[in-house]
Chain A
Amino acid sequence: MTMGRGPDEAPLLRVEDLRVEFVSEDGAVHAVDGVSYEVRSGRTLGIVGESGSGKTVCSLTTLGLTRHQGARVSGRILFEGQDLVTLPEDELRAIRGNEIAMIFQDPLSSLHPLYRVGAQLIEAVRAHRDVSKAKARERAIELLGLVGISDPARRVDDYPYEFSGGMRQRAMIAMALANEPKLLIADEPTTALDVTVQAQILALIERLQRELGMAVVIITHDLGVAAEMADEIAVMYAGRIVETASAERLFAAPEHPYTWGLLRSIPRLDAQRAADLTPIPGTPPSLINPPSGCHFHPRCPYAQPDHARIDPALEPVPDDPSQFVACLLETQVRRRLWQQLGAGDTPEQALAAVGLPSGDEAGAPA
C-alpha cells in the first residue's frame, strides 16, 4: 500500500505486515494482525479505531516499547531504511525520543510529579545531546516558549501539579520536540482535554509540523480530530487496517461498512436533531479468538454467508489511488449501499434496494 504523494521520495516510516501478539492466560492475543502503512515527511497519518483495535500497540511497537511485555513481533518497521523490529536496544534508544518522539494521552501520568518541569525537559535534551546543564536549561525555556507557555523563564521551575491540563500537554509536546524529531507519534494527544484547549493543542501540533517539517502519526478514536489533522486516514478494526484513504475521500466516499458504522454513530453538529443515530450492533471482537473470515462480519448488517469463511485482503479501490478497503462486497454494491444510506435508508432497506438478502436471511444456515 502506498500513501501520500511523491512516489519518488522514499517514505520516512514504512510498516510492513506488522504483527504483535501477547501471551495471556487465555491464549495469544493478536493485538496487531498484519498492518502495513507509510508516512512521509511533512505529512500526517491519522489512525482511527476503537478501544482494542490495536492502534496504540502499533505505535508502541514502533518505539520498541512492547519489547519487555513479552510481545511476539513480526514484520518490518523501516525508519529511514533501518528495521526497528530487529534493531538492538541501545541503537533503538538513540532513535527513541530523538528522531522519533511520542506524546501520550494522559499528560499527568507521563510527567514525573516530583521533578520540576524544567528538570524533565533538561533530561530529555541531555539524553541525546552532549550539552551543559545551563545550555540545556536555555533550550528548555525556549521549548516552553515555542509551545506557547507564557513567561517560560519562570514556569520552567514549576512542578507538574502547578500546570493546568493543557499546559501539561504543552510541556509533553515541548519534551517530544526537544530534539527536533523527524517523526512525531501522538497517541490520543487531546482526549483528556477540554474542547477549547484541544483546539489550541491541535493547532500547535500543526504549526510545529509546518515549521519543523515533521511527519506526524496521530492516533485517535475521534473522527473529528482525524478530519482536522490528517492527510491520510487508516481505520483499524480488530488489529487490522480495514480501510485507508485520503482524509477527503474517507469522509466523502467511505467504502467499508465499519467506516460507515463509525460515521453514522457520531452525533453531528450540522445534522437535524431528529435524525437517529445508527449504532453498530454488537460488541468489539475478542482478539484471542477473532471471528472467522471477515473479522467484522458478526457486526456487519451487509454480511453474506460466505463472509464468515473468506478473509478479505486490503485491496485498491477503482478511481481513487489513495483508497484501499478490505471488504468482500463488490465495489459497485458498496457504492450503491452507501448511496442508499445517504438517502436515509436503514441498512435493511439499503440491502433490499441493491437486491441482497438482509442479515437475518443471509445468516440463516444454508
Chain B
Amino acid sequence: MSSPVEPLVCVRGLTKHFPITRGIVSQRSIGAVRAVDDVSFDIHRGETLGIVGETGCGKSTTARLIMRLLDATAGEIEFDGRDITRLRGSALKAVRREMQMIFQDPYSSLNPRKTVGSIIGEPFAIHGLLREKGERKREAQRLMGTVGLNPEHYNRYPHEFSGGQRQRIGVARSLALSPKLLIADEPVSALDVSIQAQVLNLLRELQRDLGLTLMFISHDLSVIRYMCDRVAVMRSGKIVELQDNEQLYREPRDPYTRQLLESVPGVRKIGVRSAR
C-alpha cells in the first residue's frame, strides 16, 4: 500500500447506544446497550481494513453508522475530508453514492421479482444517471462481466443463480456507481467453502484492479487474514486491538485476540501440511 496523505474515512469517538425502554406507552428509558462505545480508527485510501469479532461485538453497527444507516449517539465520521455525521437530505444522498455495501445473505438481499439486469442497474435509477435508453443495460452488462457473470443472463431472475453467483450480483450492484468505499459485511459466511474462495478472490482482484477501499467485516479469522491489510479486533463495542495483518497474527497483543486465535479449530493439525 502506498502511504496515503489523508485517510478516506476518519472515525473519532464513535458511539451508538440503543436505549432499553420499559412500558408500552411511556417508553421510559431504563438503560442503554452500548453497541459501539467510543471507537476511533482510519481507513486509508486503497487499503482493506478488517473488522473481526464475535456476535454482538458491534462490528455491523459500526458499518451501519459509517454508511449513515444509523445515527451516531456521539462522535464524528469524516468521509473524504468532510464531516458526514449529521448530513441530511440531498447532501446525504450524494455521499451515499460514494459508499456501497455488500451484505451477508445473497438470498434475502436481492429482490426476487426483479431481473438481475434491473437489480444491477437500480443504483443508476435511484440517482438519475444514464437516462438514455440502452445505456443502463450496457453498463449493467459490463458490470456483470467484471464480476464473472455471463452478460447474456441479464434478463434472468435471482432464483436462477447459485449462492456464489448471487453474491457476485450483489458485488456488481455495489460497484455500479464506482464508490470510493465498499463495505462488505460477512460477504462469504453464507457460502460453501469452494464458492467462498471464488468470491474472496473476486473481491481481492477488484480491489487491486479498481483501487477500491474496502472495509471487510467477518467473524472468521482466517478469511480476515486472507483479505485485509490492517485488522481491528472488536469486543463489547470497543476496539481492543488494531494492527497490521502480519503483526496481529504473529504477535497478538491483546489477550482477547490471542484467545480468538487459539479458538480456531484444527489450526495445529491442518497446519502440519504447510509446515511440511
Contacts and interface: CB of A to CB of B under 8 A. Distances in A.
Interface of A: 50-51, 165, 194-199, 202, 221-229, 247-248, 251-252, 261-271, 273, 276-280, 283-284, 342
Given A262-B194, A267-B200, A270-B274, A225 B265 contact: yes
Given A51-B192, A265-B197, A270 B265 contact: no
Contacts of A271: 274
Contact of B54 (A194, A277, A284): A194
Q: Size band of the B side of the interface? A: 35 or more
B269 A262 contact: no
B265 A273 contact: no
Interface in B248-271: 249, 259-267, 269-271
Given A194-B219, A267-B223, A224 B201 contact: no
Contact of B269 (A222, A228, A261, A276): A228
Contact of B265 (A228, A268, A277, A279): A228
A198 B263 contact: yes
Contacts of B195: 279, 283
B58 to A, nearest CB: 14
Contact of A199 (B165, B226, B265, B276): B265
B265 A265 contact: no
A322 B253 CA distance: 42
B221 interface: yes
Contacts of B260: 195-196
Interface of B: 54-55, 162, 164-165, 192-198, 200-201, 204, 219-223, 225-227, 245-246, 249, 259-267, 269-276
B225 A224 contact: no
A199 B263 contact: yes
Contacts of A196: 54, 259-260, 263
Contacts of A264: 197
A195 B219 contact: yes
Instruction: Identify which of B194, B196, B220, B276 gathers the most chain A CB atoms within 10 Å of its CB.
Output: B194
A262 B225 contact: no
B265 A283 contact: no
A263 B194 CA distance: 9
A276 B273 contact: no
A262 to B, nearest CB: 6
A195 B193 CA distance: 17
Nearest to A284: B192
7 contacts: A51-B192, A199-B262, A227-B270, A264-B197, A267-B225, A273-B245, A279-B194
A269 B194 contact: no
B259 A269 contact: no
List the 6 closest pairs (A to B, CB-CB), nearest first: A227-B266, A224-B266, A267-B226, A265-B197, A279-B197, A280-B194
A279 B226 contact: no
Contact of A224 (B162, B197, B219, B265): B265
Given A194-B54, A266-B197, A224 B264 contact: yes
Instruction: Identify which of B245, B271, B276 gathers the most chain A CB atoms within 10 Å of its CB.
Output: B271
A136 B273 CA distance: 48
Nearest to B56: A194
Contact of A225 (B164, B223, B266, B271): B266
Nearest to B198: A279
Given A195-B219, A198-B263, A247-B269, 6 more contacts: A194-B219, A228-B265, A252-B272, A266-B197, A268-B270, A268-B271
A271 B204 CA distance: 17
A228 B263 CA distance: 11
Contacts of A228: 265-266, 269
A342 B274 CA distance: 8
Contacts of B165: 283
B246 A251 contact: no
